[in-house]
Chains A and B, each alone.
Chain A
Amino acid sequence: MLDQLVLATQLALENVDANEVKSVMDKAYTRNISYQPDQVNSMINHDSVNALASK
């Protein structure tokens, strides 16, 4: 079954639009998500969530 997923990924690679690849790579730095606020996606404990929300 995992082999089928590797095949599916190979197929996706076969079918990508070369123009889209170029466009995405050209924009990779300007679209760099490193510039967004609050970088780390920290998943806090459920009790900490409730403590935050009740403030």
Chain B
Amino acid sequence: MYYLLGIEKNLETIAVVSKSFLKLPSKEASFKELKEAYFSFTKYVQPDIPHFSSEEEQINFVEGGDLLDQLINLFLDNNNLSPPKISGYDFKKIYDDMLLKRKFQLIKNSLDVHKKNNLEHYFLVQLLFSYIFLIQSEGLSCATNPKAMGLLLMDHKEWGIGDICEMFIHETAHQLVSLDEYRHGHYLNLLELSKPENYAISAIRKVKRPLNKVIHSLIVAFEIFAYRNSVAKLNMTVKVHPKTSELKKQIVDAIESIVREKHLITLLTPRANLILELIEQKMLSS
């Protein structure tokens, strides 16, 4: 959404959802107050997420304790599965302190690189995320949950800084899409989304998925595509997403899978249709 709409439109959406929770006049609000107002909104719509109040104004890196269990529980497929699963993949908690410290340092270094590459996007990452935590898994790279805004789960693998920066782009896009949905609404009938006849091709996974997931995937894929075009020097080392040429094809295939099925278009609000058209236009001109 950042590359699709620009910083001002995204700040406008954050302002609309945060305004009711701001404790000071707008002109007096520091970053800390802005962040607290935003997280008061997320707490309002999602009461199960842990309350966030950071004295340091930064993202918290959660190494263990009850808070880590609470965060992991919000991502579990089902509390009773053994071994526990997230999106169908087995996972384990990490107990190795040295490994955690090393991984968190790499993520902090990546944030510094991200700040140098794109200060506006870095600002959005700092504003929209409250907690980052690590797990071990075979299939996952990272995850966010629209039911638990602000939480970023990352896995323990040996990612490079370029990969982690793309994860920030990927997951921030999900957060911004969800906020845009809260502001404008994207779907005319939520019950229709889970019907297989209303599936389309995901621009990230290349398989049929519910329409809401496909719209998210299109925006995420476009954001990665646009990010790479703006920060070309990182392209060579990134392995977390496909090559740019493949990504471009996946975006085109996903758009086609929606527009060729007229009934799918009728499930989208004018706002979601506008987003689809914007991506189409920008891809044509790329």
Contacts and interface: CB of A to CB of B under 8 A. Distances in A.
Interface stretch (B93-101, B143-151, B229-237, B258-266): B143-151
Given A33-B178, A44-B139, A52 B216 contact: no
A8 B10 CA distance: 11
B119 A5 contact: yes
Interface in B148-195: 157, 167, 170-171, 174, 178, 181-183, 185, 187, 190, 193-194
B15 A6 contact: no
Interface residues of A, number: 41
Interface string B204-220: 11110110110010000
A16 B16 contact: yes
A42 B20 contact: no
B193 to A, nearest CB: 5
A45 B140 contact: yes
Interface of A: 1-2, 5-6, 8-16, 20-21, 24-25, 27-29, 31-46, 48-49, 52-53, 55
Interface of B: 7-8, 11-12, 14-20, 22, 26-27, 29-31, 34, 44-46, 75, 86-87, 89, 119-120, 123, 127, 139-147, 157, 167, 170-171, 174, 178, 181-183, 185, 187, 190, 193-194, 204-207, 209-210, 212-213, 216, 239-242
